[in-house]
Amino acid sequence: MDKNNLPEFSVLPEHIGIIMDGNGRWAKQRNLPRYKGHIEGAKTFRKIGEFAADIGIKCLTFYAFSTENWKRPQEEVNAIMELFREYLREADERSAENEEKGITLRFIGDKNGIPEDIANLMDHIEKISSDKSKVILNIAINYGGRHEIAQAVRAIAEKVKNGEMNVDDIDENAISEHLYTKGMPDPDLIIRPSGECRLSNFLTYQSAYSELWFSDVLWPDFKEEDLVAALREFERRNRRFGGV
């Protein structure tokens, strides 16, 4: 899409979550190995991420690899990890460009179990990523919403045990402050392509009032026009948050 002729919206979500689903099915439809679908999906991730930033989305969270995805065939898991490794190396090389564009990269999820070199690259990218950003781009890897909540509960319990918090201090804000997304707005909109209509353990706590948008398009085929369609639908939604 022409960057000089970007669409305008009456209202935009501040934070969008995207479940990148359908890579394997995309490859299967073409009689290709599943990892080929992840290669195409990675291209779509870059394209959609840049487009969303261009039109003014302030925070994006992409669901890249869940805590359950380790159950997939080892060849597929290895291919996904290698793609992620390549992306991190590229992000390191493009750090100056990302800073110029105002893009801050963050990674949410449990780094335990991720190959050590990848975890080290994630730490490095976060350290060199500018805090003065227009866009926060989160990549959820080895992420599970229930696991995230359990970790938050354990951290709060430890603080209570050590006398750093009182039980009466535990409220919704206290829980939010112990999640991976601390300091970020909850997602206004969650998008899932590929025909599945569920969140699959994605931003479980944060999505309580998220608008949901589902599409039959497989993620490698997801285009800027599909994101625009989701945003047009978001414009039409009446978000009352339990009010009238």
Is 171 designated active site? no
Catalytic position from the list 21, 186, 188, 226:
21
CATH class of this structure's domain 12-144+187-236 = alpha beta
For residue 212, the cross-strand partners are: 190
Q: What is the pLDDT of residue 94?
A: 85
Spatial distance between the Cα atoms of 179 and 177, rounded to a whole number of angstroms: 6
Q: 39-53, 129-143, 152-166 — which is least confidently predicted?
A: 129-143
Catalytic position from the list 54, 69, 110, 201:
69
Is 47 exposed, middle or buried, given 0-12, 13-18 or 19+ CB atoms closer than 10 A?
Answer: middle
- Name the one residue in this structure whose structure tokens are 């100056």: 96
Is 69 designated active site? yes
Task: Kindly state the percentage of the chain with pLDDT values over 70.
Answer: 95
pLDDT in tens, 140-155: 999 999 999 999 999 9
DSSP run (H or E) holding 46: helix 34-55
Mean pLDDT of 212-222: 98
What are phi and psi for residue 214, nearest 5 degrees? -115, 150
Q: What is the pLDDT of residue 4?
A: 72
pLDDT in tens, 63-102: 999 999 999 999 999 999 999 999 999 999 988 887 777 8
φ/ψ bin of 240: left (φ > 0), alpha (ψ from -120 to 50), beta (otherwise): alpha
Q: In angstroms, how far is CA 80 from the centroid of its own chain? A: 16
Contacts 24+ apart (CB under 8 A), 229-237: 230/189, 230/191, 231/7, 231/9, 231/12, 231/13, 231/55, 231/189, 232/9, 234/11, 234/12, 234/13, 234/188, 234/189, 235/9, 235/10, 235/11, 237/211
Q: Which pLDDT band holds residue 134 (cuts at 50, 70, 90)?
A: confident
Q: Which pLDDT band holds residue 241 (cuts at 50, 70, 90)?
A: low
